[in-house]
């Protein structure tokens, strides 16, 4: 049987448990071959560390893409996360045009911010560039902050279902197809995922642990993609991803020596083995 091969396009944060250092172990655990296209190399992620070092790889990327084309390499999915520079948006579009096999999905986690704020490396021009990528994506996985940045709707801590549907409709207006909006909480102690596809709006709730960590969005998106490519439907994949993130956060809370990311690694094998049954 021909096995699946995916490409992930996002940064390498050398330290900090996010982006590629999360995507590779999670997707490998799902049994999926994962090639990487690093958008940049950073010493750490940009949230919570001071004076991080960044080396942008935009200039290298055209040569890598051209080589892959000469080798006739094709991928069964593209997963883009934290990119970094405006040029990366055009590069992601080029990958979609030239390097994806027939029917291969483009999964976009429009990583730009959290808790109502843009990450320090980004500005409004970056948000505008991301809007252009949204319409190319088959699956869009924003958190509420990113969804508000994309739609221009005000970020709110408290809201109702009508507001969430308005946010989703704003994303649809930008051309988003299947939308997996994370961190949607209608009541205390719980949070959840608002899901939209051709069947309409759906929602599920899960436990909310009152502690936020970086990299959980990347764990969510990688788990979602692993489940999707393993044959789960998108809604089921979004539930599996949420439960893995909850377990990983629970495994980290209480360890004050580990504030920068979540300790998902010890849970990975058992979780994915259970989920693949």
Question: What residue has token string 């940009």?
Answer: 46
What is the distance between the terminal CA atoms of the chain, rounded to a whole angstrom?
19
Considering only 60-68, 137-145, 213-221, 229-237, which stretch makes contact with ligand PXL by CB under 6 A? 213-221
Out of 4, 27, 45, 145, point to the residue binding ligand PXL (CB under 6 A): 45
Give counts: helices (H), strands (E), the chain. 9, 11
Binding mask 80-99 for ligand PXL (x = CB under 6 A): --x-----------------
Nearest approach, Cβ of residue 99 and ligand PXL (Å):
22
Stretch that binds ligand PXL, among 13-21, 71-79, 96-104, 157-165 (CB under 6 A): 13-21
Q: Which is nearer to ligand PXL, 76 or 252 (CB)?
A: 252
Q: How far is the CB of 12 from ligand PXL (least distance, A)?
A: 9
Residue 4: CB atoms within 10 A of its CB come to 19
Nearer to ligand PXL, 73 or 86 (CB): 86
The total of other beta-carbon atoms located within 10 Å of residue 201's CB is 14
CB of 219 to ligand PXL, least distance (A): 9
Q: Cβ of residue 185: shortest distance to ligand PXL, in angstroms?
A: 20
**Which of 23, 47, 144, 176 touches ligand PXL by CB under 6 A?**
47
Distances from the Cα of 92 to the Cα of 42, 129, 274, angstroms = 20, 11, 33
* Strand pairing category for 200-207 and 190-197: antiparallel
Q: Are 30 and 43 in contact (CB under 8 A)?
A: no
Choosing from 19, 143, 182, 222, the residue that interacts with ligand PXL (CB under 6 A) is: 19
Q: Is 146 in the site for ligand PXL (CB under 6 A)?
A: no
> Could you say which residues in the range 25-44 bind ligand PXL, by CB under 6 A?
42
d(CA 261, CA 114): 14
Closest CA to 234 of 270, 268, 198: 198
Residue corresponding to tokens 């750490």: 44
- The residue within the footprint of ligand PXL, chosen from 4, 9, 13, 241 (CB under 6 A), is 13
Pairing of strands 5-15, 77-80: parallel
State the alpha helices, DSSP H only, in the chain.
20-29, 61-70, 87-99, 124-134, 144-151, 161-173, 216-229, 234-250, 265-276
In the complex, minimum distance from the CB of residue 42 to ligand PXL, in angstroms, rounded to a whole number: 5
Query: In angstroms, what is the minimal distance from the CB of 149 to ligand PXL?
Result: 14
Adjacent-strand bridge partners of 195: 180, 202
Q: Does 138 bind ligand PXL (CB under 6 A)?
A: no
How many residues bind ligand PXL (CB under 6 A)? The answer is: 15
Q: Which residues bind ligand PXL (CB under 6 A)?
A: 11, 13, 18-19, 42, 45-47, 82, 111, 119, 214-215, 217-218
């Amino acid at each position: 049987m021909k096995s699946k091969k995916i490409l992930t396009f996002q940064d390498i944060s050398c330290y900090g448990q996010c982006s590629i250092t999360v995507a590779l172990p999670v997707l490998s655990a799902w049994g999926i071959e994962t090639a990487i296209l690093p958008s940049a190399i950073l010493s750490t992620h940009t949230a919570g560390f001071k004076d991080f070092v960044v080396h942008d790889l935009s200039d290298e990327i055209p040569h890598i893409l051209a080589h892959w084309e000469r080798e006739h390499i094709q991928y069964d999915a593209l997963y883009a996360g934290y990119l970094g520079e405006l040029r990366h948006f055009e590069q992601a579009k080029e990958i979609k045009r030239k390097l994806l096999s027939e029917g291969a999905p483009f999964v976009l986690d429009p990583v730009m911010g959290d808790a109502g704020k843009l990450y320090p490396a980004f500005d409004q021009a970056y948000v505008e560039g991301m809007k252009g990528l949204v319409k190319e994506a088959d699956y869009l996985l924003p958190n509420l902050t990113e969804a508000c940045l994309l739609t221009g709707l005000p970020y709110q801590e408290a809201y109702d279902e009508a507001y969430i549907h308005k946010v989703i409709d704003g994303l649809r207006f930008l051309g988003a197809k299947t939308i997996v909006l994370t961190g949607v909480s209608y009541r205390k102690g719980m949070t959840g995922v608002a899901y939209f596809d051709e069947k309409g709006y759906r929602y599920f709730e899960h436990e909310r642990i009152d502690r936020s960590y970086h990299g959980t969005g990347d764990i969510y998106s990688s788990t979602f993609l692993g489940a999707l490519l393993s044959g789960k439907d998108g809604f089921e994949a979004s539930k599996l991803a949420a439960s893995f993130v909850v377990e990983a956060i629970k495994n980290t809370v209480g360890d004050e020596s580990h504030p920068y990311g979540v300790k998902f690694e010890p849970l990975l094998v058992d979780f994915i083995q259970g989920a693949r049954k």
